[in-house]
Amino acid sequence: MKKIYLSLLIILALASTSIAQYQITGKIIESNGDAIPFASVYVKNTSKGVSANVDGSYKLTLDKGSYTLIYKAIGFKITERNIEVNSNLIINQTLSTESYTLNNVTIRPNAEDPAYEIIRKTIKLRKQHLNEVEAYSADVYTKGLQKLVGAPKKFFGRDIQKTLDLDTNRKGILYLSETQSTFSFKRPNQIHEDMVSSKVSGNNNAFSFNKASDLIINFYENLMLENTGLSARSFVSPIADKAMFYYKYKLLGTTEENGVTINKIEVTPRRTNDPAFRGIIYIADDSWRLMGTNLNLTKDAGINFVDTLNISQQFVKVEDVYMPNSVRFQFNGGIFKFKFEGYFIGIYSNYNIHPNFPKNFFTAEILKITKAVNKKDSLYWMNNRPIPLTDEERFDYKRKDSIAMRKLSKPYLDSLEKASNEFGIIKLMLRGYSINKRYEKQYIQFDPIIRSIFYNTVEGFAVKYGVTFRKNLDDRKTFNIRPEVRYGFSNHVFTANLSGSYLYDPLKRGSISGSFGSDIADLNRYGSMSLLSNSINTLFFERNLAKFYKKEFLNINTTRELADGLQAYASIEYTRNHTLKNTSDYKFRNVKDEEFTSNNPFTPGLETPLFPTYNSFNVSASLVYTIGQQYITRPDAKIYQESKYPRFQLSYRKGIKGILSSDVDYDLLSLEIYQERISAGLFGYTSFVIGAGKFLNNNVVYYPDSKHFRGNNSTVFPPNLRKFRYLDFYQYSTDRQYAEAHLEHNFAGFFLNKVPLLRKLKLEEFVGINYLTQPAKKNYTEYYFGIQRLGFGISYGYSYDGSKKVDQGFRIAYGL
């Protein structure tokens, strides 16, 4: 028996020895002792590697054996080092600045720089290099860090240090997160990512929003960074087919790297405000491949939100091709005296460029996150992260994670809520009053009083007030209920209603909602304008544009995803509808040539009922299908990504006579096709909506049940692609057939960027067309053009009824 035990011990000892792994740590520095941030360290003839952190420190885990380590950083000479691993090692490495010489290059005065011929050869092989790897898989580590490096003491009355949890100098990390994933890619654009582990500073139960696909940037593409939000337009690659039109090139020198001649080329935009990069690219002789990039986008290029974006890539040889082993986006900027900086970095390893993906491997799911990914402990991360934490990051994790644990306790939450739940009359007036019970995950919000008071000629001065109760359940399920009352001091009409909703399946976007009671509603079921906007128009400009009716109602609505990209909606509604009339003519000032109109939009000079009091019982259903819909699966949610393809909505609404004494009898069938932000490259993007419908049966249709359109009678309005700019809110609703179309193209500064005095404003010019035809309004067309910036814009346009011009003027759009 003792021999058996001894044999087992020997086997276990041998096994533990065979699987032993050792840590190689150290610091990568310049000859003067300065750290080299984000230098790469990888094992020769493999794609296994790590990156140094911002302080130059690195850590690599290896099995026992002999290895050749390659130390590499942009601008520095590649260094190889042979090591024998049989214990933990500390290896500091000094890298020499790469010496690029022009010894073998002759540059004559007024002659073309040799860089241009190198770029031409690279452009010639651009497509070949773009498509030479059909598919691959890799392990990817991503890390994101954002921090404030300066901030004002207060912002809108709030103490910034306490609100954002900063140090006494109002500096600190706002976001720190790491992920490890298995990433798969197949041309032309199929991707799938399985997140293996996730860590978010300050929230142990959170899942990182880092994605490996967000770091994909391929300079072999002609245009870069489309639809990223960084800019409304794309940016031209330095080796794009038409790059010569946008760039100037200068050969800074050549060097030898493993027997390959590497050309260091400086690229600068030909014109200061071109959508182009500036910086350095490295190109290999003979193969004319990119060997590295260190490129910047600045405010001159028209980027939003940041001042400078640096994109740095390093490549590693995988068989006969070169693949990125490190991609880094580094940024800085400032707004409203807030100064920030940060980076996102991806480290790629264990490439397989001949993957055998099973059938149907690539689906609409581009990223899958399971519950286990955020359960890895600190020992796991210490042994597996390829970029060591800096002291600042380590402290941030330790402090915020301990605070996060404390925040989950009832005593802490109770003390927090004692202050935040304190009642104040000013708070209630301006911002509303909330009662938060975070431990029970219950929240009550009282509406701000100032936003509840309004005026119109039907109700006079009136108040509309509500309270919302929300309960967060497990797995992101939520329930909320809202009572609301409304009273007009001129017509003395009191209404009250109760609404509620229950999100029962976040993964399938499954919810059910309902409401009942009474309310004052806009005659246009899409709404015409906000109560505040109508109040301003009525009191200051003597224009009572919105028209109202009273309804008593009961409705039930439900929605659920039926398949990827296919969402279903259904509802049942019963209403009893009453006409209303003006009861007040008060205004702050008399306006020449203006006077109030009646509440009937078809008899503006006479108060007549638009419809009799009637009952309506109707059912409706819609199917919305998005072509090419992609999504991210999280344990508690399904997050849809913006599709590159159109969306279709098929809708049917039926008014049923007889049920609950319903008076209506109609059938409306409609189809809508729409898509936003269709990229036009350097020329901006296009958005469109096309819709058509028909009442298959219109035996009894009263005005509130008609097909309405999103009109506009106001100079200032919230933008909406489906909204007409000069069409009356109410005049052209129909109970027959219709067709409408909306097309808008945003040039994203293509023209204004060339005007010296305007380019710094980063204005975007746009043009648009709106079209409507129906039996009472055939071939109504609007043409408009204007400029905008971050959701605010001004336009000028014309409207035509057939060939007759009926309106023109300025329109001001607002919103984010």
- Structural domains in the chain, CATH included, are 2-95 (2.60.40.10), 115-372 (no CATH), 500-663 (no CATH), 666-816 (no CATH)
Q: Give the pLDDT band (50/70/90) at residue 501.
A: very high
Per the CB < 8 A criterion, the answer to whether 664 and 700 are in contact is: yes
Q: How far apart are CA 194 and CA 215, in angstroms?
A: 15
Q: How far apart are CA 522 and CA 546, in angstroms?
A: 7
Mean pLDDT over each residue of the chain, to the nearest integer:
89
Highest average pLDDT, of 17-21, 59-63, 181-185, 391-395, comes from 181-185
Q: Which residues pair with 343 in a beta bridge?
A: 145, 330
Q: Is the pLDDT of residue 528 over 50?
A: yes
18-22, 358-362, 549-553: lowest mean pLDDT where? Answer: 18-22
What pTM, to 2 d.p., does this model score? 0.86
Predicted confidence (pLDDT) per residue in 232-253, tens digit: 788 999 999 999 999 999 999 9
Q: Give the pLDDT band (50/70/90) at residue 463.
A: very high
Q: How far apart are CA 561 and CA 234, in angstroms?
A: 33
- Cα angle 541, 544, 547; round to 5: 165
Predicted confidence (pLDDT) per residue in 249-301, tens digit: 999 998 888 788 899 999 999 988 889 999 999 999 989 999 999 999 988 88
For residue 85, what are its two tokens?
Answer: 């691993």
Instruction: Enumerate residues 6+ apart whose C-beta is below 8 A from 345.
Output: 38, 51, 142, 143, 144, 215, 326, 327, 328, 329, 387
Q: Cβ-count burial of 643 within 10 angstroms (0-12 exposed, 13-18 middle, 19+ buried)?
A: middle
Q: Give the pLDDT band (50/70/90) at residue 12.
A: very low
Average pLDDT value for residue range 456-462: 97
Report which DSSP code applies to 523: S
Q: Give the pLDDT band (50/70/90) at residue 4.
A: very low
Give the pLDDT score at 128.
94
Per the CB < 8 A criterion, the answer to whether 313 and 238 are in contact is: no
